[in-house]
Amino acid sequence: MKRTLHDSGDFIFTFGHDEIIIHRRYLFLSTLNDLMIGIWFVIGSFCFFYEGEIQTIGVWLFVIGSVQLVIRPCIRIARSIHLKHLPEDELDH
C-alpha cells in the first residue's frame, strides 16, 4: 500500500492496480439532493391544503423526500471516498 498527498489536498491510497482517492468530489450532488428535498416537501405541504388526488400527490412527494433523506448520507460517504482502477503501465513507475 502506498499513500500520497496530492497537490489538490486529496489523499491517494494505491493498492496494486487500484487507488482510493479521498476528496470532496460529490459536494455538488449532496447540495443538489438537499435542494430537491426542500422542493418536494414545500410542494407536498401545499398539496395538503387540498383533498383527493392532489393530497395523494403530496403524500408521494413526502415519500420521495424521505427517501432522499436516506440517500443523503450515502452521497456524503461517496463524495469522500472514491475507488479508481489503475492501468497496468502506471504500476511499473
pTM listed for this prediction: 0.52
Residue 53 pLDDT > 80, yes or no? Answer: yes
pLDDT at 24: 55
Q: What is the pLDDT of residues 9-43, one digit of tens each?
A: 666 778 888 887 766 556 667 777 888 899 999 99
Across the chain, the runs of DSSP E, i.e. the strands, are 2-5, 11-15, 18-22, 82-85
Residue 57 pLDDT grade (very low, low, confident, very high; cuts 50, 70, 90): very high
Higher pLDDT, 7 or 43: 43
| Cβ pair 7, 21 in contact under 8 A | no
Residue 12: φ, ψ to 5°:
-125, 120
Domain locations in the chain? 2-91
Distance CA 32, CA 63 (A): 18
In degrees, to the nearest 5, what angle opens at C-alpha 25 toward C-alphas 23 and 38? 125
